[in-house]
Structure 1
Amino acid sequence: MTNLEPHSTVALGEQKSQIPLLLCAVFLAYLGQMTLNPIIAPLSREVGLAEWQIGLTISAAAIMVVATSQFWGRRSQSWGRKPVLIAAFTLGTLVMALFALVAGFGMQGLITGTSLFVLFVLLRGLGFGAALAAVPPTAQAYIADVTTDEAARVKGMAGVGAVQGIAMIAGSVLGGALSAAGLITPLIVVPVLLLAGLLVISFRLRRESRHELIAEPTRVSPRDARVWPFLVAGFGMFTALGFIQVITGFIVQDRLNLNASTTGLVTGAVLLAAGVGMVLAQAVIVPRSGWTPPTLLRVGSLVALAGFALLIVIAGPVLLFAAVFLIGLGLGTAMPGYSAGPTLLVSREEQGGLAGLIAATTGLTFVIAPTAGTVLYGLWDQLPIIIGALMMFCVAVFVFVHPRFRNLTAGEPAARG
């Protein structure tokens, strides 16, 4: 039995008018992140940092996502969406402006070695990770709060994923294109994008009245029987992705024998293929299919597994692009099932905590996987890809055999653990 009812006392038309603004916030936050992705590998080599140091920087950001997501998710229900997002975008703008400055000094040789590494971890890792952690839980908790049926809930969660995918496309294009003018250019643009998000939220997003808020949102345990199978599936999917996401630039540069500037451009194109697959899934396949969350997880995990299998094969750029496209398509199909499924089983007071828990679970995968992926890549360039494929295989088996997914599909009452 699902737990769906209209939750807010605000008129539904007014509620819905806020969803595009929240999706805009998600888009701008992730556009800032994705604009950096095409250049992070060549940037590390340009400033003299090892692969594992960049992996650890990304893992530090993930640690902050894990540590703060439930806090942000619950605060979005008790403080309101607007104050949370203003705090997040203000922090993100400041730390990424400082990161651009530090990276510029690093490229000029003014800051090097351990000092540069520590600043990378503090700014791009801990600071930006804490800021980014607030955005998806705030949007997801709001969508769960205002949607009144399963199809609308899944479509709303797919919307969050779709704008993330669009941000991946736009960021890949933007970061890759700007890198042609020098690696410092995308670094300067990122805080500008975050500042734009801050202005949109400050001047356009309505602040909820006190009676719309929840004074004491409920914390959701990761051991709750209603949600932990979804968390396991999501953890496996994003761990598999984490093993290859940070090393994509290295794969491109080493397999295709490219220089640093060309690597940024081609890596942007490869990430663009993943983004196209993700947007196609979440903007077209998910809304039109009408599939339940378990079905989305099953279909998506199988498609992503096929992409990982192709990525293992070294056969030139065409197969590389096809593999990454399938991974994006598969994960884009599975993600709304992962994020929407457990929201159908919990109360309104738990939605903020659940949204934070889902974001924390996703972040947890990037605590270890990027560092492990870069270290393993240094040992053997195929090893992190093979491990990612094995993880995705385990996810596919799990979502087919675990009774939680069979029960939800059959519409049986949800257990409370």
Structure 2
Amino acid sequence: MDKRLPPLLVAVFINIAGFSLILPLLPFYGQVFGAQPFEIGLLFAAYSFGNVFGEIYWGRQSDRWGRRKVLVVTTFIAGLSYIAFAYAPTLWAAIGIRVFSGFFSGTLSVCQGFIADVSAPERRAKTMGYFGAAFSLGIAFGPVLGGVFAGDEVAAESFRLPIFLAGCLSVLASLWCMAVLRDAVEPSGKGRPLPKYSEAFAFVSSEPLLARLFVISFFGIAAFASMEAVYGLWSEANFGWSANDLGFAFLAIGGGGLFAQLVLIGPLVARFGEARVIVMGLALLALSMLLQPVIRLPISGVLLMGVLMTGHSLAFPSAGALLSRNTPPERQGSTMGLLMASNAVGRIIAPPIFGWIYALNMDAPWFAGAAMIALVVLVAFQAVGLLDRQRAAADTN
């Protein structure tokens, strides 16, 4: 591992821990303003909306300024936005602050650019695995802190301390980047070209395998984001859980992702290939959603969310890797940019829709999500068939 990489992984862990710290708080913080399930879904979606523009803008700025400078500035301002969020006067102000925070937190492309700077192409997949592990560790650690420091009453004062802590972690990440992180490549002073989404869309639409991978990613990530949004409301209604309880339940979510990325995905891909691993991951997603309202026990409420994250962490990194490997080098940037934008749209539109479904029937989102993923499994099987035919044709030539 390049010695310049560990400081970035530490920064990713600290930043994601801060971001994920407030996830279990959002359903309860929304209730402070009298938010309905649809509006709580908007609180989740607002962050992703800001993220879309942040990823494009900061990725280009990091080419001009350098990765380190962008990470220092953005994580510091994102930390200040958490303080504003703690004192939001209205629901719509809180939603607006979440958009702002999402914009300044849209730096995954900057981190990936840093990884590309310090990693040889043949080691990049393994390095991205370290990145995914740091991300999942932050997802596992942050919500526990949020739950521990949250109060029991549904009042703004109950959530200010953990939200302040999230801001402090973000500022700490900024200071860490300033003190320790060093750019591997001198900034060029010129930003990368804007993604050519229209060209990428035409290219992906003409490629049956890539089109199916886009469908898999869009609907799978939309379902996962929606389950995150309704899980707090559903567990509160069924088990009487508070934000404190939900914080510990989120430990299973991060733990499932960490287990999948560190232990499962490498051996499974080596034995079965990415396409079949995608099918396995989607099957776990659908099964976990289907069983959640059927078993309806606190212990299963935790364990099945861990299974949900395990399936997510198997399916979507595999889909991204397969898409990248089947895309020509000259189209990599625009195609992966389109994938990121497509996934973000799923995270924006799905949580409010599933919040509205929850308002009609609290169990309906789980069944709707399971049915949606079951249909996506059929698309994944088509991808398996396409790859098998490609290999058979290559073997005969």
For residue 276 of structure 1, the aligned residue among 246, 250, 255 is 255
TM-score, normalised relative to structure 1: 0.81
Task: Provide the residue aligned with 2:147 in structure 1.
Answer: 176
1:231-310 equivalence runs, <5 A: 231-256=214-239, 258=240, 262-291=241-270, 292-310=273-291
Amino acid at match of 1:61: Y
Tell me the SS of whatever aligns to 1:97.
helix
Tell me the SS of whatever aligns to 2:195.
coil
The answer to which structure, 1 or 2, has the higher relative contact order (CA under 8 A, 6+ apart) is 1
Q: 1:412 to 1:312 in 2, by over 3 A?
A: farther
1:199-238 equivalence runs, <5 A: 199-210=175-186, 216-217=192-193, 219-221=195-197, 222-223=200-201, 224-225=203-204, 227-238=210-221
For residue 377 of structure 1, the aligned residue among 358, 361, 366 is 358
Distance in 1 between residues matched to 2:389 and 2:182, nearest whole Å: 35
**Do 1:66 and 1:361's aligned partners in 2 also have CA atoms closer than 8 Å?**
no
**Segment of structure 1 superposing worse, 208-217 or 319-328:** 208-217
Question: How far has the Cα of 1:382 moved from its partner?
Answer: 1.5
**Do 1:68 and 1:130's aligned partners in 2 also have CA atoms closer than 8 Å?**
yes
Task: Provide the residue aligned with 1:386 in structure 2.
Answer: 367
Task: Provide the residue aligned with 2:13 in structure 1.
Answer: 27
Task: Provide the residue aligned with 2:109 in structure 1.
Answer: 137
Question: How far has the Cα of 1:288 moved from its partner?
Answer: 3.9
Per-residue displacement from partner, 1:162-218 (whole Å, max 9, x unpaired)?
222211210121111111483222111011000011011112221244477876447
Tell me the SS of whatever aligns to 1:386.
helix
Per-residue displacement from partner, 1:96-126 (whole Å, max 9, x unpaired)?
1211233xxxxxxxx4xxxx122101112x1
Distance in 1 between residues matched to 2:190 and 2:305, nearest whole Å: 42
Amino acid at match of 1:141: G
Tell me the SS of whatever aligns to 1:48.
coil
Q: 1:322 to 1:243 in 2, by over 3 A?
A: same
Choose between structure 1 and 2: higher helix proportion: 2
**Do 2:217 and 2:319's aligned partners in 1 also have CA atoms closer than 8 Å?**
yes
Tell me the SS of whatever aligns to 1:402.
helix
The count of residues paired between Structure 1 and Structure 2 equals 379
Is there any run of 5+ residues in structure 1 with no aligned partner, and where? 1-12, 103-110
For residue 332 of structure 1, the aligned residue among 299, 308, 313 is 313
Is there any run of 5+ residues in structure 2 with no aligned partner, and where? 153-157
Question: How far has the Cα of 1:68 moved from its partner?
Answer: 3.5
Amino acid at match of 1:166: L
Distance in 2 between residues matched to 1:286 and 1:216, nearest whole Å: 32
Distance in 1 between residues matched to 2:260 and 2:282, nearest whole Å: 13
Task: Provide the residue aligned with 1:122 in structure 2.
Answer: 96
Distance in 2 between residues matched to 1:99 and 1:411, nearest whole Å: 56
Distance in 2 between residues matched to 1:350 and 1:28, nearest whole Å: 33
**Do 1:217 and 1:353's aligned partners in 2 also have CA atoms closer than 8 Å?**
no
Amino acid at match of 1:55: G
For residue 188 of structure 1, the aligned residue among 144, 152, 164 is 164
Question: Aligned-residue CA RMSD in angstroms?
Answer: 2.9
TM-score, normalised relative to structure 2: 0.85
Q: 1:216 to 1:272 in 2, by over 3 A?
A: closer
Per-residue displacement from partner, 1:195-246 (whole Å, max 9, x unpaired)?
0110111122212444778764473534133754433221111111122111
Task: Provide the residue aligned with 1:9 in structure 2.
Answer: none
**Do 1:92 and 1:194's aligned partners in 2 also have CA atoms closer than 8 Å?**
yes
Q: 1:303 to 1:61 in 2, by over 3 A?
A: same
Asked if 1:36 corresponds to 2:22, the answer is yes
Tell me the SS of whatever aligns to 2:222.
helix
Q: 1:205 to 1:407 in 2, by over 3 A?
A: farther
Distance in 1 between residues matched to 2:183 and 2:139, nearest whole Å: 29
Q: 1:294 to 1:362 in 2, by over 3 A?
A: same
Q: 1:19 to 1:394 in 2, by over 3 A?
A: farther
